[in-house]
């Protein structure tokens, strides 16, 4: 099923004509309204008038997450605040989050794209969507919510957490579509089993899972345990939120990118050179309809591949492969973005000491668990057990309050964390996803 037949199945030529027109308008607008972009374009000796074809996009400079941080909180907004009707945020490379804004029309666009995503994944007007993405600054919860409303489906705004209650509601309310992170889906399956609730007895037919990397193996496990069809969804708050791309239930083979709103590119993460279709590289997005927070050639750091062949579902828009990894050291822990450098600064602020630390990520009972090993030093050492344990709890609390992620902090002996030549090995990811 297709929500917007016109735009999702448009012939490539017509689509590209629309893309070019929208790109030109966006480039002109950011040049005139966002000082950051004007400076960058001037430095690169490119003007809006130089964008005559879609290929001219490559003349424009990249935008990085650090640029968003440097312009915190509102420096990248392209409209005055009285036109901004919504603000979301995601964690950034340091303590400061990345702030994004939406106009009323941006929210309408986002709702439309989430409605398209829900329909692509098999949702109808008469479905009940159990939305277990977190509501709040994170774009997941409200993104799905507005899309479900736009479609006219019923939405249960359950948000994350309190899994036993979620299972009870699944049993009693009879939702048919589940939206959450893939790891949470498996966790729910486990809790349901403990509670003696069997998924085949529930009414779910489809699930839309995203906000963290997963694999075909996980898809099979989710489909088997939850007795539904599992679709991958992609999005990031800097570009919009969930609904940038989604898999269709017909093929479950790559995520359709809504190209009438975003222009994707795959580039070589080191050289920045554009790569042809079929080659794996870093995904880069340019938004071409966003008003409040347009981004030009935004470096997602996600590694993927683009496939242009039309899909058997009828969509003509390009498909991206599953995210294969990151071109930086960002971790995604239960849907929350975490950079090792953020943890490092929390440790330093807590104890005013250069820390040696290592992060170990594991999947325990299908949920990500992040353990922070910190070498004990004299500023935190004490002869009393309770004082050392309170150092651990204090660090856990500060990390949770700063980054929104729950960790287990363990103190270890000095020099016990392996030093490698040059760069320290900060992260050991044991998740087999």
Partner 1 sequence: MNVEQISIFLENKPGRLEEVTRIFEGGGINIRALSLADTTEFGILRLIVNDNEKAKRLLKEKCYTVGINEVVAVEVEDRPGGLYRILIALSKENINVEYMYAFVRQSGQNAVLIFRFDNIQAATAVLKREGVRVIDGTELYAM
Rule CB under 8 A: which residues touch partner 1? 376-378, 381-385, 388-389, 410-416
Residue entry with tokens 């960790």: 407
Minimum CB separation of residue 416 from partner 1 in Å reads 7
Peptide bond into 353 cis (omega under 30): no
User: Mind spelling out the 3-state secondary structure of the chain?
Assistant: CCCCHHHHCCCHHHHHHHHHHHHHHHHHHHHHHCHHHHHHHHHCCCCHHHCCCHHHHHHCCCECHHHHHHCCCCCCCCCCHHHCCEEEEEECCCCCEEEEEECHHHHHHHHHHHHHHHHHCCCCCCCEEEECCCCCCCHHHHHHHHHHHHHCCEEECCCCCCHHHHHHHHHHHCCCEEEECHHHHHHHHHHHHHCCCCHHHCCCCEEEEECCCCCHHHHHHHHHHHCCEEEEEEEECCCCEEEEEEECCCCCCCEEECCCCEEEEEECCCCCCECCCCCCEEEEEEECCCCCCCCCCEEEEEEECEECCCCCCCCCCCEECCCCEECCCCEEECCEEECHHHHHHHHHHHHCCCCCEEEEEEEECCEEEEEEEEECCCCCCCCCHHHHHHHHHHHHHHHHHHHCCCEEEEEECCCCCCCCCCCCCCEEECCCC
As given in the structure block, the two tokens for residue 33 are 């309204």
Residue 203 or 410 having the CB closest to partner 1:
410
Residue 55 or 408 having the CB closest to partner 1:
408
């Amino acid at each position: 099923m297709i929500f917007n037949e016109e735009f999702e199945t448009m012939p490539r030529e017509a689509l590209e004509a629309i893309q070019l027109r929208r790109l030109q308008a966006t480039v002109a607008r950011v040049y005139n309204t966002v000082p950051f972009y004007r400076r960058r374009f001037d430095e690169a000796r490119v003007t809006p008038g130089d964008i005559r074809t879609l290929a001219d996009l490559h003349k424009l400079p990249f935008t990085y997450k650090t640029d968003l941080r440097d312009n915190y909180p509102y420096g990248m907004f392209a409209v005055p605040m009285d036109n901004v009707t919504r603000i979301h945020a995601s964690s950034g490379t340091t303590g400061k989050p990345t702030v994004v804004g939406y106009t009323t029309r941006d929210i309408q666009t986002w709702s439309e794209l989430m409605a398209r995503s829900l329909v692509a994944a098999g949702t109808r007007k008469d479905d009940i969507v159990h939305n277990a993405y977190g509501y709040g600054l994170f774009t997941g919860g409200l993104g799905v919510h507005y899309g479900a409303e736009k479609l006219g489906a019923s939405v249960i705004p359950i948000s994350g957490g309190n899994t036993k209650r979620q299972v009870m509601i699944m049993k009693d309310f009879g939702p048919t579509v589940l939206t959450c992170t893939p790891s949470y889906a498996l966790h729910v399956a486990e809790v349901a089993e403990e509670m003696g609730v069997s998924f085949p007895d529930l009414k779910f037919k489809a699930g839309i899972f995203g906000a963290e990397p997963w694999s075909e193996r996980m898809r099979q496990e989710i489909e088997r345990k939850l007795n539904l069809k599992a679709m991958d969804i992609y999005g990031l708050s800097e570009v919009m939120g969930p609904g940038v791309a989604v898999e269709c239930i017909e093929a479950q083979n790559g995520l359709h990118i809504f190209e009438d709103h975003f222009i994707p590119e795959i580039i070589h993460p080191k050289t920045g050179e554009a790569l042809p279709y079929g080659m794996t590289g870093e995904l880069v997005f340019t938004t071409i309809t966003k008003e409040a927070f347009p981004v030009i050639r935004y470096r997602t750091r996600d590694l993927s591949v683009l496939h242009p062949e039309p899909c058997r579902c009828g969509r003509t828009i390009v498909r991206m492969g599953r995210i294969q990894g990151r071109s930086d050291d960002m971790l995604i822990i239960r849907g929350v973005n975490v950079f090792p450098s953020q943890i490092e600064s929390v440790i330093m602020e807590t104890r005013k000491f250069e820390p040696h630390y290592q992060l170990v990520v594991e999947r325990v009972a299908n949920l990500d668990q992040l353990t922070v090993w910190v070498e004990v030093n004299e500023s935190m050492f004490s002869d009393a057990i309770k004082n050392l344990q309170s150092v651990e709890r204090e660090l856990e609390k500060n990390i949770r309050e700063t980054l929104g992620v729950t960790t287990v902090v363990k103190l270890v002996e000095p020099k016990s964390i392996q030093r490698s030549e040059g760069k320290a090995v900060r992260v050991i990811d044991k998740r087999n996803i």
